Structure 1
Amino acid sequence: MSTALRDGIEIVEDAAPEFEAVGAIQRGLHDFNQAMGGPYDREPVTLLVQDAEGKSLGGLLGLTFWGWLFIDWLWLAPEMRGKGVGAELLLRAEAVARERGCTNAYTDTFSFQAPGFWQRNGYVEFGRLDGMPAGHARVWFRKVL
């Protein structure tokens, strides 16, 4: 389905866009953001929890940029929960961020995941979107490093 605008320009719905089209959008926004906010200096933060055989039991995926640590994903297998491993992952990620000059961290989670975990580790709620998903909320947390 497409919508004609003017001068031969149209909006096209594409359920499986080509890599180049996606890349053009990402590059365009990254270029604009860096022109306005300065260089990203984006670097990944990847911490894995593995057993003796190298099987992944969880981990933390994030990024550092503009002096902030963004924690995108933090997950642990059920048998790893409640043992302090999540808190250790956060401490390690925060240490990496400090080494890179970051002074703050942020993340988002859902009310059914573990908002208390973030609070116990010094994170403060700064935003909430109730009804996302229905009966729950999406919650944003931050912490001064």
Structure 2
Amino acid sequence: MTGPADSIDPVDHRALEITDDPRPEDLTALKDALRDSTPTRADDGYRTLAIFVHDDGLVGGIAGYTHFSWLFVQQLWVDGSRRGTGLGSALLRAAEDEARRRECRGVWLDTYSFQARPFYEAHGYEVFGEIADYPPGHAKYFLKKAL
């Protein structure tokens, strides 16, 4: 018995290029093609956001972007010598303040069970998703906070 999928021409698997070292131009072309095929929304407004603290080198920073009226935090890092000083909290508050200036409704991010979930929860973030056993023996959490 055959189904609808059986009537589709099979892909020539010899044409598939599997790589762990993709060409930057291919990644750019893929990103551009996806963006160009997605309907435009009124609040598209993608903007990078980054805040750094230097003292004889980088000692802390937060980076992400605002898009569709939300801030996504991609990285937050504080040097071990500065942890517990309030620097991480200051970076997070500054990013949230800038997100408000950009008229964002909220912030979202992801972290692992061996990273900073308690830190974010102490700042009012709540878990809205989890991937258990990623990596094995741990979990990946998705958190958000309304602004």
Superposed displacement of residue 103, structure 1: 0.9
Partner residue in 1 for 2:95? 93
8 Å Cα contact 2:60-2:87 kept in structure 1: no
Q: CA RMSD in A?
A: 1.9
Give secondary structure in 2 for the equivalent of 1:13.
Answer: coil
* Contact 2:134–2:140 under 8 Å retained in 1: yes
8 Å Cα contact 2:111/2:142 also seen in 1: yes
**Equivalent pair of 2:110/2:142 in contact (CA under 8 Å):** yes
- Kindly name which structure, 1 or 2, has the bigger radius of gyration based on alpha carbons: 2
TM-score normalised by structure 1 residue count: 0.87
CA distance in 1, matches of 2:29, 2:78: 34
Q: Which runs of 5+ in 2 are unaligned?
A: 1-9
More strand by share: 1
Give percent identity, aligned residues only: 33
* Cα distance in 1 between the residues matched to 2:59 and 2:30: 34
Distance apart, 1:19 and its partner CA: 2.2
- Number of the residue aligned with 2:5: none
C-alpha deviation, 1:77, in angstroms: 0.7
* Runs of 4+, deviation exceeding 4 Å: 36-39
3-state secondary structure, aligned to 1:12: coil
Q: How does 1:40-79 map to 2 (within 5 A)?
A: 40-51=44-55, 53=56, 55-79=57-81
Query: Separation in 2 of the partners of 1:28 and 1:109?
Result: 29
TM-score (normalised: structure 2): 0.86
| Aligned residue pair count | 138
